[in-house]
Amino acid sequence: MPAARRIGQDDLRNHNMSVVLSTVARSRTPMSRAALAKSIGLTKATMSLLTDILLKNGVLRELAPVSESSYGRPATPLAFESGRWAGIGMQINTDGVGYLALDISGGVVLSDWHERTMVNVNPATAFAELDDMMRPVERELAERGYRVAGSSLALPGLVTNGDRLLVARNFGWHDIDLNRYPVFSRLSATADNEATLAAIAQIPGYASQRADRDWPLGPLDSFVYVSTDIGIGGAYVREGQIVRGDHGFAGEIGHICVDLRGTLCRCGRHGCLETIAGRRALAVAAGLGDGDAAVRTELLPDLYAAWRGGDTKAALAVENALSALAAALASTVNMIDMENIVLGGLWSGFGDGLRADLERRVQAQILARDAARVRLMFPPVTEHPAMHGAAVMGLRRLFDNPMGFMSVD
């Protein structure tokens, strides 16, 4: 039996500082040292030491003192310092390529997206375009005085060990070592499935300041995230943390079989959810295109317009897809017992009436329908959520190992 590693003072300090950062990020309002110490369970002396390090390194800043009661000294709230720390999120998806740099305070520093159909694209071409986009971004962040905590790349496929893409079927990519591409290795990036990163974008305060506005989910809520595009992906979040499964591939809801005699999916099975409810499938069923022409991104507004206008083919395509979605989501709820479902991607463009209809259909099919109430919602972060989540994951490196970034002299 291997000997257990001893936990030293540096390990304890690193852990406590990580908890401090997470607590600051999740709070709707700035907290004082005393309030943080009480919330976390640390002594005031320990909290003072930790916050002094974070202030010295430009992670936190002091705000104007405020009186928390009618007696005693005013408290000094703490907030994240803006303009000093950022995370970089990148994405290569079936509808384009882009990046987002996120400040730890929650603001977007820089962002760009090149929209185009990217099905069966050569990986070297896609990564070269991303490299060309990122070089001036890296220079500008450095010129502005930012320190990049980390970078992450969102991909529509199965990713292992953070740097190997096993398969991205809608790209036709298989077994790619991502470190072979300069933009990935230069930024010491990690990669993850786009649905997983899009789910992370919906967790308030995960690794940047929580937005001070209404949010349908709390920092420690559990939910299923469903990402819909040409393919359909998913992620499971349990109490504010991603549930990855034994190999990191959990959440592939798009490959739940909803029709044993259905269309052959690119995964090799018949009747997967994405063969009915994915963007390509909907465009074909609505009569808007066929083959590779059906994946053009500009067809999506045409699909919405045809459905709203009462076009028979579009209405039937959406109805069949809704039935398949409801069956797959009900099966998911029955299996993992989560009541919150976040439906992102193309389906959020159909509006709240369709959302309510889908919610009713799922509710009617779950086994515990008399005791549990499903809540289906559109995501709070809708603008390239996977890219946003990738930037959050870049910042997460600072939260997970803060002492690795700190100077304590």
C-beta separation of 165 from 175 below 8 A? yes
Within 10 A of 128 (CB to CB), how many other CB atoms are there?
A: 14
Q: What is the pLDDT of residues 269-325, one digit of tens each?
A: 999 999 999 999 999 999 998 877 778 888 899 999 999 999 999 999 999 999 999
At 188 the pLDDT is 97
Tell me the CB-side half-sphere exposure of residue 273, using CA atoms within 13 A. Answer: 25
Q: Which amino acid is at 74?
A: P
Q: Both 354 and 240 in a single domain?
A: yes
Question: Which residue, chain included where needed, has tokens 């083919």?
Answer: 313
Distance between CA 361 and CA 355 in Å, rounded? 10
Q: What CATH number is given to the structural domain containing 400?
A: 3.30.420.40
Q: What is the pLDDT of residue 10?
A: 76
- Does the residue 4 lie in any domain? no
Q: CA–CA separation, 165 vs 148, rounded Å?
A: 24
158 φ/ψ angles, rounded to the nearest 5 degrees? -90, 120
Closest CA to 152 of 178, 171, 133, 173: 178
Nearest 5°: CA angle at 300, between 294 and 303?
90
Alpha carbons 188 and 176: distance in angstroms, whole number: 16
Which residues make beta-bridge pairs with 155? 193
Domain count of the fold of the chain: 3
Residues 73 and 93 in one domain: no
Q: What is the pLDDT at residue 70?
A: 56
- Whether 327 is in a domain gets the answer yes
Amino acid at the residue 376: L
Q: Among residues 60, 80, 100, which one ends one of the domains?
A: 80
Q: What confidence score (pLDDT) does residue 1 get?
A: 46
pLDDT on residue 121: 87
Together in a domain, 230 and 348: yes
Residues 59 and 91 reside in one and the same domain: no
Question: Does 162 lie in the same domain as 49?
Answer: no
In the chain, % helix, strand, coil (3-state, to 5) comes to 40, 20, 35
Can you give the residue range of the structural domain that contains 176? Answer: 86-211+385-404
**Rounded to whole angstroms, how far apart are CA atoms 72 and 301?**
60
The answer for residues whose C-beta is within 8 angstroms of residue 343's C-beta and 6 or more apart is: 226, 228, 355, 358, 376, 377, 378, 379
pLDDT tens column, 144-162: 999 999 999 999 999 999 9
Query: Quick one: 34 and 132 in the same domain?
Result: no
Contacts of residue 2, Cβ cutoff 8 Å, sequence gap at least 6: none
For the record, the structure tokens of 139 come out as 């220079």
Same-domain pairing of 366 and 255:
yes
Low-confidence ranges of the chain (pLDDT < 70): 1-8, 68-72, 409
Among 46, 80, 114, which residue terminates a domain? 80
Regarding whether 270 and 145 lie in a shared domain, the answer is: no
